[in-house]
Amino acid sequence: MRILEATKIYKNYGNKFNKQEVLKGIDISVEEGEFVSIMGASGSGKTTLLNVLSSIDKVSNGTIRIDGKEMTGMKEKQLAEFRKNHLGFIFQEYNLLDTLTVKENILLPLSITKVSKKVADQKFKEVATELGIYDLKDKYPNEISGGQKQRTSAARSFIHQPSIIFADEPTGALDSKSASDLLNKLSELNRKRRATIIMVTHDPVAAGYCSRVIFIKDGQMYTQLNKGEESRQAFFNDIMKTQAVLSGVQNEH
């Protein structure tokens, strides 16, 4: 089932005298349960694309449908409601509230719904256990490591079982071991929960955990790679080759 469909997406900044066209007619579709990565050089438009797909920013032109609902025509109040129920977010800088415990941070998306305390506690236990942070539930963000903070952020994004989780450079502030731990956990949750994840990353190692990688260049779709039955190492090698071509680096013979 197709969970996201974006058609002829344009995004401009500035005015008619000084217009910067960042996205230039991109078409993207994502199936339910996919783990998709968006890659591209700095300034390619990949973060802008994630922002418009996730409703953080508005498109200048084009349509975006998530779960069969067109977001581009929604009023701000409708959009806020849709975001609350259907979307999850993982940010590079964690975006945790320092005055709340790990458990309280994770439960935030459920605190604005009508879920009972018993159900909320059960959901918390499940997702926190899956991400290996259940024992940290009473600690505050300043008492845990960067990797643990990011897994807390991931748990918060999964807890209300959204249609899509958007991840913006989720491993960008982590060391290699913490990044690997997080990506393994995201892959597990993607498989177990059929969670749909769209992740922007500059890191080919992180992209290697995905089922598909979309490459953006100068605000347009450049190409895409499907993992299929390939091993993660073989897929990583393919990503590296595509990145080299994308940046104009030719292999020496």
Distance of alpha carbon 112 from alpha carbon 104, whole angstroms: 12
| β-bridge partners, 199 | 37, 167
Q: What is the mean pLDDT of the chain?
A: 92
Q: What percent of the chain has pLDDT over 70?
A: 98
Q: What pLDDT score does 177 carry?
A: 93
For the four alpha carbons of 191, 195, 63 and 5, in that order, the dihedral sign comes to positive
Q: Where are the beta strands (DSSP E) in 139-209?
A: 164-168, 196-200
Which tokens go with 17? 């005298």
pTM of the predicted model, to two decimals?
0.92
**Phi, psi at 237, each rounded to 5°:** -60, -40
Phi, psi of 240 (to 5 degrees): -60, -40
Q: What is the mean pLDDT of residues 236-245?
A: 94
Average pLDDT over residues 236-241: 96
Query: What single letter denotes the amino acid at residue 149?
Result: K
Q: pLDDT tens across 13-69, in order?
A: 988 788 889 999 999 999 999 999 999 988 899 999 999 999 999 999 999 999 999
DSSP 60: S
pLDDT tens-place string over residues 150-195: 999 999 999 999 999 999 999 988 999 999 999 999 999 999 888 9
Residue type, 10: Y
User: pLDDT band for position 253 (50/70/90)?
Assistant: very low
pLDDT at 164: 95
Tokens 């940046």 sit on residue? 247
The pLDDT of residue 18 is 85
Q: Which two tokens stand for residue 170?
A: 């989720």
Confidence of residue 252 (pLDDT cuts 50, 70, 90): very low
| Cβ atoms of 187 and 27 closer than 8 Å | no
CA 107 to chain centre: 19
pLDDT at 251: 45
Domains, the chain: 33-58+75-247 (3.40.50.300)
Q: Do residues 131 and 154 touch, judged by C-beta distance below 8 A?
A: yes
pLDDT digits (tens, 9 = 90+) for 98-108: 999 999 999 99
Of 124, 150, 126, the C-alpha closest to 138 is 124
The Cα-based distances of 163 to 31, 32, 90, 103, 190 in angstroms read: 11, 8, 14, 22, 12
Q: Which residue carries 């509230």 as its tokens?
A: 97
Give how far the C-alpha of residue 170 lies from the chain's centroid of Cα atoms, to the nearest Å: 8
Single-letter code of the amino acid located at 209: Y
Q: What is the pLDDT of residue 224?
A: 97
Dihedral of CA 64/65/70/76: which sign?
A: negative
